[in-house]
Each structure stands twice: as structure tokens, then as C-alpha cells.
């Protein structure tokens, strides 16, 4: 944008609203405050300031026009809207941080070959975003927002992974690993059960995309082990998104001299739904070997 689409005061106003939540099923906003804030919406803001991940998109577009003092004020306001512990709904928080990078699609280079090619061709510029997020990180630490720190570290790890893969940069890959480990420590502190197995899964996929098979296997094993302890707490009735991804790494480990490890996972997993998914993969292995 060549000029600010809204004023600083309007951005601060949007930031003060808090983050809007999703329906349990579907993707539309379902928030008790929705009707109240529709009356206060900002005409020129992205979706009038009311969207999942608000005010992330507006912050991203406004960063070039904000003074240092204004950036600190927005960061303070946003920090106040993040919870300390894991919330009932979480999509709005991760979307907000991702949007501040200007990343409006999930998964970065891992999303598809087409997205990987697009990101390679684009000039990635996250300097302003990182400057803002470093200030936000300080505010999270001041406010003891452990869940916010989990999300922030997770998103930075993803972006470091993107940069590592695109530029074949081993230094960025090492930084990515450290950032995932930092996010894992925070997730344990705030009892974010999903992150306890999903962070290591995403780390494994970035290592795979980079071509580091040893690390890919290491983090796949960690993800599977953590899923036996925490998957049932986050998905008591099972799910499709993560069960498919865990099945994928389970199959990979099984096919690469890890049958004994997979048997141990089968013994430990507490989710009946996930156990069925893994059991099906073990049967495939048996059929492959003996039929």
C-alpha cells in the first residue's frame, strides 16, 4: 500500500477489541461481541477490522507508517488481548501472528509445490514484521503471556524454516530448530496440548523439505511419542487434520526400520481414534510383508 489505509488511532482501536473467535464447526466468526463491534467497525480497515486474526493484517499493512512509539503502543494493546494459558479456541491467535508477517496462507513452503515456487520467486521481506514481533515478545514476557510466547515462537520457527528451505541456508535451519524447541518449552508451561505434538511434526517436515533425513526422523519420533501423551487431551473425539499427518510420519518410521518403535507407540497411545489410525498402518505393513 502506497499510503496508510487507516489511521494509527483506528489501528489502536481495532487492536483494543481483542481477537474474534471461530465457530466450533466451519470458518465463520462466532463471537458474543460480534454485533456490538459491527456497529463500531472501521470502514477502510481490512474486512472493516472484523476477521479471524484481526488486527494482524492491518498491523502488517500499517507497519511502514508507524513511529517507534506507536509500534510500542500497538504491541502493548495486542499483548493485553492474548491469554496466559491455552484458550478454548486458538485459530485467531495463530492467524494474527502469521498475518503480521504478511503470510495470509498457512504452512508457507510446505503448503504445496506451487506455494514453494511462488515464495522462491517473491522477495521475502520480514524485517519490519520481526521488529514489531520482537517488541511484542518483550510485552508477552512482561505480561507473563506464555501462550502468546508459544504462538510467537512457533510462527517465527515456521518463517525461519521457509527461509532455510528457499535459500538452502543451514544457519537459518539451526535457528529454526532452536525456535521450535523454545516454543515447545512454552507450550509445556501453558498446557497447550496440541503444540506438544504439532511443533515437532512441523519441525520434521521442514527438515524433510531441506533434505536432512536424520533430523526429520528424530522429530517425527518425538511428535509420535508426544501424541501418545497429549493427542487425546486436545482431540478427545479424534480429528482428521492431525491424525492424517501423524499417520504419515508413523508410516514413514514404520517403513524405515522403525517397526519396533511403532509397536511401542501402539502400546502407549491413549487416544482410541488415533490407535485405530496407527493400527491400520501396521496392518498395511503386515500385508506388504506377507502377501
pLDDT at position 216, please? 96
pLDDT in tens, 86-139: 887 788 999 999 999 999 887 788 888 888 888 888 878 899 999 999 999 999
pLDDT averaged over every residue in the chain: 89
Looking at 10-14, 218-222, 234-238, which range is the least confident one?
A: 234-238
Q: Where are the domains of the chain?
A: 194-291
| In the predicted structure, residue 199 carries a pLDDT above the cut 80 | yes
Angstrom distance (rounded) from CA 282 to CA 271: 16
Q: What pLDDT was estimated at residue 289?
A: 54
- Count CB atoms within 10 A of the CB of residue 138: 14
Going by the DSSP 8-state scheme, the letter that residue 5 receives in this structure is S
Helix (H, G, I), strand (E, B) or coil at 6: coil
Q: What is the pLDDT of residue 27?
A: 58
User: Which pLDDT score is estimated for 28?
Assistant: 64
Instruction: Give the whole-number percent of the chain exceeding pLDDT 90.
Output: 63
Positive or negative, the Cα torsion across 98, 103, 109, 111? positive
29 or 16, greater pLDDT = 16
The average pLDDT across 261-276 equals 91
| Secondary structure letter of residue 46 according to DSSP | G
Write down the pTM of the prediction.
0.90
pLDDT at 113: 83
Helices (H) and strands (E) in the chain, counts: 14, 0
Task: Please give the C-alpha separations between residue 48 and each of 18, 34, 41, 79, in angstroms, as whole numbers.
Answer: 14, 12, 5, 21
Least Cα distance to 133 among 94, 159, 100, 108 occurs for 100
Confidence band of 234 (pLDDT split at 50, 70, 90): confident
Give me the mean pLDDT over the 186-201 stretch: 94
C-alpha cell belonging to residue 141: 514476557
- pLDDT (mean) for 166-189: 96
* The pLDDT of residue 12 is above 80: yes
Closest CA relative to residue 22, chosen from 70, 92, 96: 92
Kindly report, residue by residue over 28-80, the tens digit of the pLDDT: 667 777 777 778 889 999 999 998 899 999 999 999 999 999 999 999 999 99
- Mean pLDDT over 263-289 rounds to 82
Amino acid at each position: 500500500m502506497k499510503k496508510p489505509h487507516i489511521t494509527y488511532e483506528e489501528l489502536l482501536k481495532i487492536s483494543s477489541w481483542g481477537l474474534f473467535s471461530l465457530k466450533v464447526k466451519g470458518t465463520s466468526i462466532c463471537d458474543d461481541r460480534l454485533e456490538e463491534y459491527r456497529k463500531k467497525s472501521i470502514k477502510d480497515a481490512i474486512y472493516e477490522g472484523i476477521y479471524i486474526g484481526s488486527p494482524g493484517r492491518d498491523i502488517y499493512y500499517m507497519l511502514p507508517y508507524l513511529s517507534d512509539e506507536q509500534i510500542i503502543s500497538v504491541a502493548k494493546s495486542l499483548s493485553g488481548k492474548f491469554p496466559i494459558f491455552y484458550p478454548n479456541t486458538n485459530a485467531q491467535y495463530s492467524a494474527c501472528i502469521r498475518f503480521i508477517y504478511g503470510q495470509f496462507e498457512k504452512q508457507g513452503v510446505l503448503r504445496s509445490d506451487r506455494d514453494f515456487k511462488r515464495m522462491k520467486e517473491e522477495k521475502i521481506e520480514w524485517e519490519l514484521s520481526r521488529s514489531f514481533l520482537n517488541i511484542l515478545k518483550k510485552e508477552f514476557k512482561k505480561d507473563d503471556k506464555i501462550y502468546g510466547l508459544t504462538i510467537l515462537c512457533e510462527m517465527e520457527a515456521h518463517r525461519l524454516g521457509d527461509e532455510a528451505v528457499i535459500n538452502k541456508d543451514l544457519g537459518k535451519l539451526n535457528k529454526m530448530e532452536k525456535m521450535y524447541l523454545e516454543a515447545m518449552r512454552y507450550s509445556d508451561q501453558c498446557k497447550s496440548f496440541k503444540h506438544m505434538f504439532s511443533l515437532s511434526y512441523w519441525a520434521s517436515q521442514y527438515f524433510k523439505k531441506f533434505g536432512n533425513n536424520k533430523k526429520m526422523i528424530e522429530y517425527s519420533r518425538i511428535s509420535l511419542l508426544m501424541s501418545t501423551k497429549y493427542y487425546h487431551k486436545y482431540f478427545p473425539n479424534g480429528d482428521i487434520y492431525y491424525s492424517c499427518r501423524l499417520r504419515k510420519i508413523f508410516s514413514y518410521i514404520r517403513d524405515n526400520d522403525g517397526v519396533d518403535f511403532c509397536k511401542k507407540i501402539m502400546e502407549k497411545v491413549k487416544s482410541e481414534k488415533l490407535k485405530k489410525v496407527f493400527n491400520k498402518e501396521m496392518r498395511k505393513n503386515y500385508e506388504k510383508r506377507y502377501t
